[in-house]
Structure 1
Amino acid sequence: MSTEYTAARTSIRTALILTLFASLFTAAMALTYRYTKPDIDAAVAEVKRKLIAEVLAPDRYDNSLLTDTITVLAPVALGVEEGSVVYRARKNGEPVALIVEARAPDGYGGSIDLVVAVDADGRLTGVRATAHKETPGLGDYIDPRKDQNKTQPWIDQFVGRALDGGDKARWKVRKDGGEFDARAGATISARAVVAATARALAYADANQHRLFDAKTGERITAAVTAGAKP
């Protein structure tokens, strides 16, 4: 038996063994994923429910909020290039509020992801920062979990706010002549959140009817100009 033949058989045997192990590993991973996916999905859903409960009281709607969603392509208004998920709250079939994913691109440490809840009257019911890289102990007060003021978190000043005729001058931090507070030495973070929230509010208010009327799961580009009622 030649050396070449022996080497070839060894190579083939090794390849078959590696293929078998790869197949078994893939099958094991697929099986694990199959049996753990429901638990993972349930955990993700629970996190979303808790987050939404912070911006919109659960007793205000009776539909399945986590499934009554659409994806909106509006990067200029909402800042999310890949598309923003919009959750639609209803009660007895009537529109109650829109919970919109938005992004402020100009935070001190980079982009700041937000969820902005706007009720059917065009008023904010809550805003939350969901991801950011703001400086710990300084600019991260935009996140109520990091805000040292637990009785009156900075982010809660948005509750009840509306555009009121589109007066954009009010939608700035006080340092810039507006109505929103900011912590000393960390104005950039607040400025970014205020501006992004104003854009999201204007967009949701202007496009409210089309956003509520879109089919569940639809991916749309709302055509109405933000800031103008349809």
Structure 2
Amino acid sequence: MKPIHTPRYARHRFPAEVIGYAIWLYFRFPLSLRMVEEILAARGILVSYETVRQWALKFGQSFANQIRRRLPATGDKWHLDEVAINIAGRKHWLWRAVDQHGVVLDILVQSRRNAKAAKRLLRKLLKKQGITPRVMITDKLASYAAAKKAVMPGVEHRQHKGLNNRAENSHQPTRRRERIMKRFKSAGQAQRFLSVHDRVANLFRRPANTNAADHRASRAQAFRVWSEVTSAASA
């Protein structure tokens, strides 16, 4: 196959296919940068892990933004949850919202776990999603009720720990990446990485109760979207 070159990758030694593949490996799977370097080397692509890191920083968020625009509309039931993460010896809180289908709506890394932090998450969600949910489901943290009252007073709010397993389960991939990366180095790094990581996961997510044929069709569509996003598809 003849390599495809686009203005986005001008002055880059490697073509779009290689750069897109490296970024896909890094954000899709629990791999360190050195592991990605080794996988590429096994395929005859000699590139340093530092180069992969620079590619992820330069192109990752742009890819994530395009994925968000291409995915179907999200559900009307939002599950919100927060989990503690240790960054540079200090406790931070990763706030995450998912819909009833398990699609991650957004994340926000903050140093506080209070009503002000919850309001920031809700305002960010409303700005990004452009719609108000029908139902908001959280655990019994009082900050959610206070934030909901101020930001989305008309939305039904259900507070019950057992109802919020979907949001709590969505933190598991983050924990795996934390271990591989030996913890995040800063709140900014965590925010940047997870913002891209969760968008890529949304694209390749396997819906529940999907048979093999539907899964293969869905995966093929995801690869087509990824190819368009990374400009690796021919015109």
TM-score, normalization by structure 1: 0.23
Bigger fraction of residues in strand? 1
- Please identify the structure whose Cα radius of gyration is greater: 1
For normalisation by structure 2, the TM-score amounts to 0.23
More helix by percentage: 2
